[in-house]
Chains A and B, each alone.
Chain A
């Protein structure tokens, strides 16, 4: 392996690690619902200290899943869908897309009936 793989493998590790936590997935879901929020806005949705939320946001930022943008004195957090897309294109597509989409269809169908 040359170091061409280093960048992406390192980022993939960070994405998987970032996603392996329910609070961080919840933060992503919050941003998916409404993008571009301040840390205070996100805190109000969680039973957690400011420090705890900041720590989770930092892990998400390092994985590239959240991109901070300055707006005057505010720091807004935006969901970045590209890292998940890259994992989708490289891993899910490659090995299992057909099965996954069949299962997703089945799940959707069952949930519709419920």
Chain B
């Protein structure tokens, strides 16, 4: 795991959730577009799960209707160790300001803490990307609830088969 250096601590987000599902299900819900388009922002994310493999998130129909770009987030897989650990780069194109920021680094860690219970920890290192930080931290008033909301919905989805859907 990469050291979180003292100067970057304010730009790193750590979010954690306990989910009643085994690590494989959690892994699939994150990496398989069949599942990952069904919770959170409801956008399919495609992963080529090997080092250097491509990652991209496509706009939902609603976003495309608003005239947004087709690929809204992209990046590269750095490390894929299913179903335990996924490291990737991440750059969003929600706005010209975000698109101009450097790629950020995202790490998913899945630990089975009891049979059928997973602890999912998502660490997002956002050094030099203040607009991305503002959005994924959930502080941006027009950008949904960020990671906390996505992970809350992921938990609901895996445990009930449904999204919170408002």
Known A-B contacts A80-B14, A82-B17; A36 and B117 likewise in contact (beta carbons under 8 Å): no
Asked if B4 and A76 sit within 8 Å, CB to CB, the answer is yes
Q: In the assembly, what is the distance between CA of A111 and CA of B45, in Å?
A: 42
Shortest distance between the CB of A102 and any CB in chain B (Å): 17
**Inter-subunit contact A11/B18 (CB<8 Å):** yes
* Residues of chain B within 8 A of A84, CB atoms compared: 148
Q: Check if A34 sits within 8 Å of B14, measured CB to CB.
A: no
What's the nearest-Cβ distance from chain B to residue A32, in Å? 10
Bound together, the chains give a CA A79 to CA B6 distance in angstroms of: 16
Given the contacts A35-B12, A36-B4, A76-B9, A64 and B18 also touching, CB distance less than 8 Å: yes
**Mask: chain B, 11-32; 1 = CB below 8 Å from A; 0 = not:** 0111111101000000000000
- Whether B4 lies near A71 (C-beta < 8 A) is yes
Is A112 in the interface zone, CB < 8 Å from B?
no
Do A72 and B3 touch across chains, with their CB atoms under 8 A apart? yes
Q: How far is the CA of A35 from the CA of B126 in the complex (A)?
A: 13
- Are A67 and B9 in touch, CB under 8 angstroms? no
Check B16 against A67 for contact (C-beta < 8 Å). yes
Q: Which of A14-64 contact B (CB under 8 A)?
A: 34-37, 64
B110 to chain A minimum Cβ distance, whole angstroms, is 15
Q: Which residues of B contact A34 (CB under 8 A)?
A: 9-10
Fill in one digit per residue for B139-166: 1 if any A CB lies within 8 Å of its CB, else 0.
0000001011101110110010000101
Q: Are A36 and B151 in contact (CB under 8 A)?
A: no
Residues of chain B within 8 A (CB-CB) of A85 are 145, 148-149, 151-152
A69 at the interface (CB under 8 A from B): yes
User: Known contacts A35-B10, A36-B10; is A86 also within 8 Å of B121 by CB?
Assistant: no
When the two chains form their complex, are residues A81 and B10 in contact, meaning their CB atoms are under 8 A apart? no
Cβ of B156: which chain A residues have Cβ within 8 Å of it? 89
Inter-chain contact A82/B9, CB cutoff 8 Å = no
In the complex the two chains form, what is the Cα distance from A78 to B20 in whole Å? 23
CA distance in complex: A80, B124 (Å): 12
Having A7-B117, A35-B9, A93-B166, one finds 10 other A-B pairs with CB under 8 Å, namely: A4-B20, A4-B159, A36-B12, A36-B14, A67-B14, A69-B14, A72-B3, A78-B13, A79-B14, A82-B148
Query: What 6 A-B pairs are tightest by C-beta distance, nearest first?
Result: A36-B9, A78-B14, A81-B148, A85-B148, A85-B152, A71-B4
